[in-house]
Every structure is written in C-alpha cells, then in structure tokens.
Structure 1
C-alpha cells in the first residue's frame, strides 16, 4: 500500500504581537533589491493605518488591496499575476497574503501561477501543478477557514468551483497573531468559526478518517465547543481569539489528512451559482443536514441560538430548473468529498433528486 506524503507548513510563528517580526522574517528571503515582496491585503484594511503602517516595505515592495466582497476567481488570479509581471523588474521575492481565507487562497494561487504556465483554471483539481511556487507567507486576520495550513486554494472558475490542490500550495511561512483578529464583526466571526466547526464534523464522521486526522479534528472540535457553546461573544476576549486561531489550524490539519463532506460539496454549488460567501454558505447548507450529521447539526443549531445568529432563508426559492442543475453539477463534481461522507457507493444514494430536494429547503 502506498501512503500519501503530504507537505506541511514548514515554519510558523504563533503569538500575540508576532506580526512585528515580519520584517526580520522577510529580510532573510529577499532575493535582490529588484525582487520585491508583494503584499496582497484585504481592502477592509485600506484605511486602517494601525495595520498598514506596520507592513515592512522596502525597495520596490508594494501593497495590493483586494476586495473580498466576492469569492476568489480564477481570472482574478490571472489578472494579479499579469499585473505583477508587468510592474516588476525581476521575479518577486515572495507573495504575502494578509486577510481571511479569500486573501490567503489568492496569495497561494498567485505564488503558484508565477512559476507555472497557462491560466489558473488549468490547475483546478488534484496534483496538476508541475513547478514549485515562489516563496509565500500567510497571515490570517480572521480564524476558521484553515486556509493558512491547507494544501488547496479554493477558486471559482469559468465552469466549476474547485481548488488548486497540490504539494506546492501550502505556505512556506505562516504568522499567527491573534491580535489581528480583534476587530472581526460578530456575524463574520460566527460564520468563519463555523467553517472550522463543520470541517471537524465532516472529517470526524468521514470514511477517510485516520488517527492522524482524528487527533487534530478532535482538538479543534473541543476548542469550537468551548468558544461557541461555553462562552458568549466578546471582542476583547484574548483567550477566545487565541483558541479559535488554534482551532482553525487544527481543523485545517485534520482535513489535510482526510477530507470534508456534504456541507462543503453543496456550499460550493451555492457559491458557484449565487456567489454565496464560503462561511455563510456552509452554515446555510449544514442547517439542513441532520440526515448526515445529526449530532453536529444539533450542536450547530445550539450555537446559532446562543449567539442570536439568523441565517438567510429562501435563497433557492426562485431558481429555475437550469439553475438547480448547475448547482447540482458543481456539487456532484466533488467526488472525494462525497466518498468521504457516504462511502465508495455514494452514487447510489446521492441522486440529483436528492440534492435538489435539499437545495429547495435553503
């Protein structure tokens, strides 16, 4: 039997205020004065001098602010790569992503596409990347997605929503500074935290589960229970911020060695057709998945009630047959997720009618 040799993030700094060490980390990786670092930063920080003034710019380095109103697109990656190539004299020393899951995924994708020919859509799938990415650093400013540790970069392409899953995708360096998460609005904190919780449920209930993924998944699951069931939301709670950052890391590690399941497969369909953001999309879907994850869904509903979160209703109420079919096609295309959730014979029970019935509840 052959076992998959998965890459892990080789270097990580964890600690409140550790963002201040970014300068010394990058100085050792600068290739030349003509090879800049490109900082891809969530544009929510555009007028936030508290963060942007601390980004260590030298020589030709520059900040590119990126809107996260929509999920990352393959054409967006291609445009960023073209812009970088046109505006730099030499290949960049590295790409640094500062933001939530969308920004981290874009940073990973851009670093790959700077060394691989073609368009980002050509690499949506598993192990299609031929050349190592350039040096890339992930700095999350919200916790839950696991993008800081995963070997995928989730992108919406012209005909599917699917990640660039490869051994070259993970960051070379991650900087986990929980202080950067202190201004996250409550609803966003909940939706992204639930992305992490759902990672754990899907990993721990899946057929791909092994002792490695289980050990990470259980730790993350326990941290999520503590944060979302035992505590109330408090923007100044440092302990909760640090623990959610660790839950996100462990949740991402858990699915690296197993896989996600039904909620993620179906939320990709919502995202592809309706542009629903990943965290809230997972929540909308998971709310209706008692049949697959009865205990997890019951706990999710308890968390939702505790924090007074109301999910959008009826988002699929006015869709046409064609639109339902588009979502169903996207969801069914994610075969490893279904196999993990249901088993090798998943196609016998996961029919188009079954998925349409579930979507119609949302």
Structure 2
C-alpha cells in the first residue's frame, strides 16, 4: 500500500492582533523593489481600518475582490493576466485577505503565475507542474478551511472542481480572531456550518484514518462549543471557531468530504449558490446518510434562529436538473468517501433527482 505524502502549511501565526506582524513576515520574502506583493482584499474592507493596516511598500498593490459570487476560473485568469500586464516581473507574493472566495483566488492566482494556460486546465487532482509564487492566507471569517487545504475550489466552463495539488497550500497563514469581528449572523452561521459539515463527512467516511479522525473530533468539539454551548465572550468564540476551521480543514485534507459537498457543488455550478449556504440547504435533507449530524445541525439552526432556504430547485427543467446531477456525480472521491467503492449502486441519477427536488 502506498501512502499519500500530503503537504501542510509550513508556517502559521495565531492570536489576537497577529495581523500587525504581517510586515515582519513579508520583509524577508520580498525579492526586489520591482517585485511587489499583491494583496487580494475582499472589497467589503475597501476604505476600512483593516485596509489602512496593510503594509504597502514601493509597487505593492491592492486588488479588490467582490466575494458575492463563487470564484471562477475566468476570474483567476483575468487577475493573473492583469498582474502580468501591470508588472515587469513576477510578484514577491500573493496575499489573500478575506473569506473562502478570496482564499481560493489567492491560491489559484499564485499557481497560475507560474503555470501556463487556463486555470480550468488544472481542475482535478495533481495536474499542476510548477510551484506557485509565495502566497499567504489571512481569513476574515471562519469555517471554510480554505486557509489550510490543498485545494482551491473554482467554477469553470464545464464543472465546479478544485485545483488539488501539493503546490496549492499556503506558505504562510495568519490567524487573527479579531479580523472576524462584525461578521453578520447568517454569514457567520452558514460558513461555520461548512466546518461542522466537514467534520461529519470526514468522521463518517470510508477514508477515515487516525490522523483525520483526531483533527475532525477536535473540530467537531469546538463547533459544538461555539454553536450549542453556553454563552462565551465574543473574542473566545471567534478564537474557537477559527481553530475549528483549521482543524476541520486538516481533517478533510487527510480524508475527504461527502454527500453534502458533492451535491452543493451542483447547486453552485448552475444556480450560483454560495458554498456555505448551499451545504446547509443540502445537509438539512440528509438524514438518510448522516442522521446524528443532521439532528445536531437542526438544533444549531433553532438555537441561532437562522433560516435555511427551501424550494430553490422548484421550477427547474429537466436540462437544468441533469446539469446539476452530472456535476454532482462527477465528484467521485467525495461519493466514494461517503458510501464506499460501490457508491454508484446507491446514488443513481434518479435518486439524486428526487433528493434535489426536495430542496
């Protein structure tokens, strides 16, 4: 048996106020005055105090990212082309500051600056040939695990699928819980549930091993404290959820996600449904596969008074449903983790159609 030698983020700093060490972290990585750092910043922070704290020097530049839509391969290629056009040399690094969308874009752009063609050419497993430029992830919301994973999930012209490679992982991550203050309740909940669902899918999957189990169990414990526990100071909740996101991401890095993610990719591809809320919509209907996980999920929903949308597939025609189903069925490792190598005997196109029609 051959074991996969997965990469890990080599350097991470955690703590309230740790963002202020960014200048110190970046200084040794600056190649020259002509090689800037490019900061991809969620545009909700445009003109904010956080933007003013970004350590800009020389030709360093901020590119504002609208994160209302899921990241696309065309968006990655456009950012890559703009950087190549505007600067005479490769940048010293790409720094993503924002949620999962910005994290994924930062990883993908860093890869595409050193690999030719379109990012759509690399959607899959271990297709990337060359190491990315230095890249840093700084999450401003917790739950996606994008800060630690070896994938960058993108919607392409034909599918929604990650660039999964050993070169995708960030070189440095800055985990500052203070950056997640002020996130709206619904967004905080949907993104946090992405982490919780990671744990359920990892811990019940056929790919489970002692490594992924240890991270998944800790992440699930932290999610329960945050979403079902007694009241804690906001700063403690932010730190716990940030650690849950990290541990949840590590758990699926060494195993895989499952039914909820496989089905939510179909919703996102056709309807543009955001990842966190898409997972919640799907997971709410998955008692057949995750009875205990769904039971606790619904307790969390009730406790925080969050609405899970229903009826999003109403009125879809046969062609649209076929598209969603085909995208979902293409997520083979996810289905195999959830149901084993004979998963196709359980999940047929007809079965999936019936499940989507309930959403």
- Taking structure 2 as the reference length, the TM-score comes to 0.99
Q: Give the equivalent residue in structure 1 for 2:273.
A: 276
Q: What SS does the corresponding residue of 2:13 show, helix, strand or coil?
A: strand
Q: Give the equivalent residue in structure 1 for 2:284.
A: 287
Q: What SS does the corresponding residue of 2:29 show, helix, strand or coil?
A: coil
CA distance in 2, matches of 1:312, 1:301: 13
- Are 1:299 and 2:279 an aligned pair? no
- Are 1:254 and 2:262 an aligned pair? no
Q: CA deviation at 1:311?
A: 1.2
Q: What SS does the corresponding residue of 1:22 show, helix, strand or coil?
A: helix
- Taking structure 1 as the reference length, the TM-score comes to 0.98
CA distance in 2, matches of 1:126, 1:89: 31
Counterparts of 1:23-62 in structure 2 under 5 Å? Answer: 23-48=23-48, 50-62=49-61
Q: What SS does the corresponding residue of 1:56 show, helix, strand or coil?
A: coil
Q: CA deviation at 1:183?
A: 1.2
Q: CA deviation at 1:43?
A: 0.5
Q: CA deviation at 1:313?
A: 1.3
- Are 1:70 and 2:88 an aligned pair? no
Q: What SS does the corresponding residue of 2:151 show, helix, strand or coil?
A: coil
CA distance in 2, matches of 1:231, 1:334: 38
Q: What SS does the corresponding residue of 2:132 show, helix, strand or coil?
A: coil
Q: CA deviation at 1:230?
A: 1.1
Deviations 1:40-67 (A, max 9, x none): 000010131x100000000100000010
Q: What SS does the corresponding residue of 2:190 show, helix, strand or coil?
A: helix
CA distance in 1, matches of 2:242, 2:225: 13
Q: What SS does the corresponding residue of 1:301 show, helix, strand or coil?
A: helix
Deviations 1:192-228 (A, max 9, x none): 0000000000000000000000000000000000100
CA distance in 1, matches of 2:234, 2:57: 35
Q: What SS does the corresponding residue of 1:289 show, helix, strand or coil?
A: coil
Q: Give the equivalent residue in structure 2 for 1:6.
A: 6
Counterparts of 1:304-343 in structure 2 under 5 Å? Answer: 304-343=301-340
CA distance in 2, matches of 1:268, 1:81: 25
Q: CA deviation at 1:257?
A: 0.2
Let me know the Cα RMSD of the aligned residues.
0.7
Q: Give the equivalent residue in structure 2 for 1:192.
A: 191
CA distance in 2, matches of 1:69, 1:36: 27
- Are 1:354 and 2:343 an aligned pair? no
Q: Give the total of aligned pairs.
A: 359
Counterparts of 1:95-244 in structure 2 under 5 Å? Answer: 95-231=94-230, 237-244=234-241
Deviations 1:224-253 (A, max 9, x none): 001001145x8x610000000000000000
Q: CA deviation at 1:286?
A: 0.1
CA distance in 2, matches of 1:113, 1:89: 16
Q: CA deviation at 1:312?
A: 1.3
CA distance in 2, matches of 1:247, 1:163: 22
Q: Which runs of 5+ in 2 are unaligned?
A: none
CA distance in 1, matches of 2:315, 2:130: 44
Deviations 1:227-282 (A, max 9, x none): 001145x8x61000000000000000000000000000000000000000000000
